Chains A and B, each alone.
Chain A
Amino acid sequence: MTRTLLRIAAKLAWVAVVFFGITVISFWVIHLAPGKPTDLQTTLNPGASAVARERLEKLYGLDQPIHVQYGQWVARMARLDFGRSMSGDSRPVWDKIEERLPLTFGMNIISLILTLAVAIPIGVAAAWRQGGTFDRISTVVVFAGFAMPSFWLALLLMLLLGIVWPVLPISGLTSLGFAKLSFWGKAWDLCRHLALPVFLYTFGSLAGMSRFMRTSMLEVLRQDYILTARAKGLPARTVIFRHAMRNALLPVITILGLSVPGLIGGSVIIESIFALPGLGQLFYQAVMSRDYPLIMGSLVLGAVLTLAGNLLADAGYGLADPRIRQSGGQSAEQSVEQTGGQTGAQSGEPSGKESA
């Protein structure tokens, strides 16, 4: 019991360190870059004098040394105050983020469910008959999926389903007469607008997830207990669903936690293509206008989500696998590396291999 508590404490300490590291690196990188947000506001306006610029810098606290600025920022963060946006409307950063959360979140969660619903059966089927026809076809599709840039697929689908054969709207969240529609009319309209983006999100993670499931399943199928189960004459269905799949699903929990940064990055591209008012688009605008507080707010939110994903994955892994709960030996992340966590080039992380 004490061991479990110790492990939780260590984990939380780790999260705190990582969080601190992320904010420090983000803050420094953003503030040390040449050029200031006030440049944009003053150079665009020839009437603005050097005095006006200084006054603006003072207003935003940009005249202070960077560690002081960081200190002030942390102090504000501690009170959950994200500051105000530097753009024209000067609204609180959190308000701007909050109104866009539901869309980005909603799309990601729906696509996550779809991804799992499709990728797990594909991975299991491919692994069950390794080298078989289905395995080979799915391997080809997976490789194509890895190499397919999501924005290109988006363009192709817009071309096909929006222009050549116009069945779906290709931009925005709602149609023109949205306000006048009935409830079901509104729901249907939203669905039609979100169909392509959600499909693209799903496609983006499908290749990696099904490949990962296949690897994990193959690993499990090599175990002695599977041989035992088959030797005693259990039907294939029982072996797959009761003995193999449940164990093969464990590492998937972890990969879900680790996939958060990729999803966040992907939303920038997809939301900008389809002109969807989500977090990705907000971040893109913030970056373009050098809105420091908004950029920092988004980065912090991204980091919090990533760390939360990580923690949830760890907790989920512990709950699902009694071996972890009892021995407390290895973290979920390590076991992913041992399975040869293969998510391909798209995630930017080559698969790990722990031979020590």
Chain B
Amino acid sequence: MSAPAVRKRKPLSPPTWLERYGMLALGVLLVGGMSLAALLAPWIAPYDPNAINVDALLLTPSLAHPLGTDALGRDVFSRILFGGRVSLWVGFVAVGISTGIGLALGLISGYFGRITDEIIMRLVDVMLCFPSFFLILAVIAFLEPSLTNIMAVIGLTSWMGVARLVRAETLSLRGRDFVLAAKVAGAGPGRIIVRHILPNALAPVLVSATLGVAGAILVESSLSFLGLGVQPPDASWGNMLMDGKEVLEVAPWLSVYPGLAILFTVLGYNLLGESLRDILDPRLRR
């Protein structure tokens, strides 16, 4: 699948082995657990996440409300579960967009080379030099913050890494014998790219997409924290923390649990991505 290992690797000592697969296991556990909780939210949430209850304002965590209630009497545990759906959705759609763009531009750039390559790579340079969080903020504020806009903007400003990655991979693949063979057999550029190069370039993309989900979730929660993300009454981890900040002194639990949810989820995707990198590409082991 990929080039033969250039460097001789030392045999793995047992602790390293444990460390490597421990990372993978923890990543799978965190990602799986958080995804499951988000997907099953409507069935496992004890309360309606948006139901205001004036008799239960700012309750400390208890049996009835395992993570307490917020300033409007809404159950924090239920809101975290539903907030997880938002994060998951944003993460996947945004990464879908950025990976799609990155793959397409990277393949085109790497395969056709010359002026096409030059133009696309300069575009990548421009986008990389953007203070992108500034731009995201501006665009979201202008377009009205909505889930669709957030996903689109995050996706449109984060495809550059994938494009570079795929381009490099394509460059090294296009001169290989099997690609030449396909060319000799009369395959056109479209067929060669889709059938022969794309499948062989997917491994690093999978890694960067996994890490990208973590990045997108962080950006979404930052935006929501600034009030430019998911709008109330809908719950997202970021806007729950924004609400929590207002009552930090009287209800600290509102500022703790949603953040833990972000931490675990992002950590999970990062661990998963790093372990996938090790597994899929032995050349990058370190």
User: What is the interface of chain A, defined by CB distance below 8 A to chain B?
Assistant: 14, 17-18, 21-22, 25-26, 29-30, 33-35, 130-131, 136, 143-144, 146-149, 151-152, 155-156, 158-159, 163, 215, 218, 222, 258, 260-262, 264-266, 268-269, 272-273, 283-284, 287-288, 290, 295, 298-299, 302-303, 305-307, 310, 337, 340, 344-356
Interface: B208 (CB within 8 A): yes
Please report the C-alpha to C-alpha distance between residue A179 and residue B84 in the assembled complex, in whole angstroms. Answer: 47
Please report the C-alpha to C-alpha distance between residue A353 and residue B259 in the assembled complex, in whole angstroms. Answer: 32
B259–A156 CB distance below 8 A: yes
A303–B130 CB distance below 8 A: yes
Please report the C-alpha to C-alpha distance between residue A305 and residue B245 in the assembled complex, in whole angstroms. Answer: 32
Interface: B40 (CB within 8 A): no
A156–B255 CB distance below 8 A: yes
Name the residue of chain B whose CB is nearest to the CB of A160: B252
**Given known contacts A147-B214, A265-B131, A345-B266, is B165 in contact with A152 (CB within 8 Å)?**
no
Looking at the complex, which one of A131, A144, A295 makes contact with B267 (CB distance below 8 Å)? Answer: A144
Please report the C-alpha to C-alpha distance between residue A176 and residue B115 in the assembled complex, in whole angstroms. Answer: 61
Looking at the complex, which one of A22, A151, A158, A272 makes contact with B129 (CB distance below 8 Å)? Answer: A22
Looking at the complex, which one of A136, A151, A290 makes contact with B222 (CB distance below 8 Å)? Answer: A151
Extra pairs beyond A26-B135, A345-B211 (18, CB < 8 Å): A21-B123, A22-B129, A147-B263, A147-B267, A149-B218, A149-B266, A261-B130, A269-B222, A269-B226, A290-B142, A302-B130, A344-B211, A345-B266, A345-B269, A348-B212, A349-B158, A352-B164, A354-B168
Q: Per DSSP, are chain B's interface residues mostly helix, strand or loop, or mixed?
A: helix
Name the residue of chain A whose CB is nearest to the CB of B164: A352
Interface: B204 (CB within 8 A): yes
How many residue pairs link A and B with beta carbons under 8 A? The number is 199
Residues of chain A lying within 8 A (CB to CB) of residue B221: 149
Please report the C-alpha to C-alpha distance between residue A168 and residue B143 in the assembled complex, in whole angstroms. Answer: 38
A25–B162 CB distance below 8 A: no
**Given known contacts A268-B137, A269-B226, is B218 in contact with A345 (CB within 8 Å)?**
yes
Q: Which of B11-19, B65-73, B74-82 contacts A (4 or more CB under 8 A)?
A: B11-19
Shortest Cβ distance from A295 into chain B, in angstroms? 6
Top 3 A-B pairs, shortest CB-CB distance: A265-B133, A350-B208, A33-B142
Interface residues in B200-222 (C-beta closer than 8 Å to A): 204, 207-208, 211-212, 214-215, 218-219, 221-222
Name the residue of chain A whose CB is nearest to the CB of B260: A152
Residues of chain B lying within 8 A (CB to CB) of residue A143: 267, 270-271
**Number of B residues contacting the other chain (C-beta, 8 Å)?**
71
B128–A340 CB distance below 8 A: no
**Given known contacts A147-B266, A356-B172, is B142 in contact with A273 (CB within 8 Å)?**
no
B137–A284 CB distance below 8 A: yes
Residues of chain A lying within 8 A (CB to CB) of residue B212: 345, 348, 350
Shortest Cβ distance from B32 into chain A, in angstroms? 16
Please report the C-alpha to C-alpha distance between residue A295 and residue B207 in the assembled complex, in whole angstroms. Answer: 35
